[in-house]
Structure 1
Amino acid sequence: MGSATREALAAAREVLDGQNVDASTGEQLLQAGRVLGGSAQLRSALADPSAGAAEKRALVAAVFAGFGATARAVLDSVASTRWSTPEELLGGVEELGLRAIAASADDGLERELFTVASAVASDPTLELAIGSKLSGVDQKVGLVDRLLTGKAQPQTIAIVRHLVQQPRGRSLRESLRYASTVVADQGGRLVATVTSATPVAPAQLDRLEQSLTARYGRHVRLNQVIDPRVLGGLRVQVGNDVIDGSIAAKLNDLRLQLAG
């Protein structure tokens, strides 16, 4: 992420945090992301550093005239600041949409996103159906609705619907992990994925959660993944940080040492 994008995103987040946000605001921002994703010309126009802020705000007003005042205020901020690239502007609008939805949901949203990601990972047929380029977008959205309606809160469904409509080169699992991280950050939390060969005892998970919270200075919420390939021990990932104490990793290290 370029420095201009970081500053622009921070400015837009300030605008978002200063508004009365409901779920419709987030859905409109995600919709704006899909509109931008479908128009390279619009992305380029809004990210053009040579264009004036007033000119770009007028473009936002014309394209997104039907949006609510809160979503428009955030998009005006996006249009008024400089972004490193058109693609980073697109990613910024998506992140702002996710944050707006998170602000309107209860704190179980990231858990539900993780549950959906786990369901996709455990069912190759489902993953293929959602990720296949042969299936139409409407079919994929319909599948999401059938799977989640009545089982997940509307904000979860809105996020998953968006991700299958605009994958941006990511698998659904990758997109869901990213969304879960953004949602947690909006709530002042971090997400740690704990991978083990067998379920970890609750007391051990509690101790690990407390340790990670102390280490990072923010509340860390654990998501547990069972993967027999790790053989034993734990692999813990928090953002880009990986603490790999699994037996599989130790055996791999040993093989590398013997080969050297």
Structure 2
Amino acid sequence: MTKQNEEKIISEVIDDSNHELNLKGADLLIHTKKLPQRLHRLAFLPWYECWTQQLKTEKKSEHTIRSYVVAAKTFTTTTLPNEEILSWDEIKEIQVSELFNRSNPNNGRVDAWLNTIGDLRPATINARIAAITHLLKWMGYAIPEWIQRPARSRSLPRTLGKNDLQKVRLAAIRSEDPIAFPIITMMLDTGLRCSEICNLDLDDVDLEDLSALVIGGKGEKDRTVLFTNATLDALDAWRPIRNARLKNCIREED
């Protein structure tokens, strides 16, 4: 089929979607009118090359593209009852107009495909659905609203054991910077976040009450945290070093 014939078919189908043509591929072009305008010129081209090029144009990472391709492979090769079984290599060569018909969310293929990925991890299922959502949107469809994405199960954070805590404290003691030990000790004592302890001022620390006022913590909320004598001893050991550093800074400025 020449390029002129292709353009003629597309033009006639757009003008009259019920017009019957005897040329090869005419049946596929009956629905070309429903294709997004941007896909009219791609109607006779292999969909796979066009779609992957679109992903690259959107500057998707190589990892994301590989993930999307895996999802597209499982989706497009899913076979409906009484439908011819096509290999992935054959699927990649079909035209955009044919994939438009094949990927119609209302023909049951989405449902059948979801059944095949039901045993995967929730995060993987969500990634596959995101990929097919992109493919369907590119084809001019929308992912059906009835599709429910599984909730991601959040595992509890791993807590440090006794040996781990000893290793952390030992590493802080051996650090070249003496401020490492009071910081690590206070973080382990209070559960302060890195940003919170960096913004902590000595004026906010009550050494008699063994507490510290955190201003503008998570959620921009203020709170009071308590610490033990271990933090108090570490701060007392750090204080003369801090004072010496301040004096050196003043001398350098003068």
Which structure shows the higher strand fraction?
A: 1
Which structure shows the higher helix fraction?
A: 1
TM bucket (normalised to shorter chain) is under 0.3
Higher Rg: 2
Q: Structure 2 length as normaliser, TM-score?
A: 0.24
Q: Structure 1 length as normaliser, TM-score?
A: 0.24
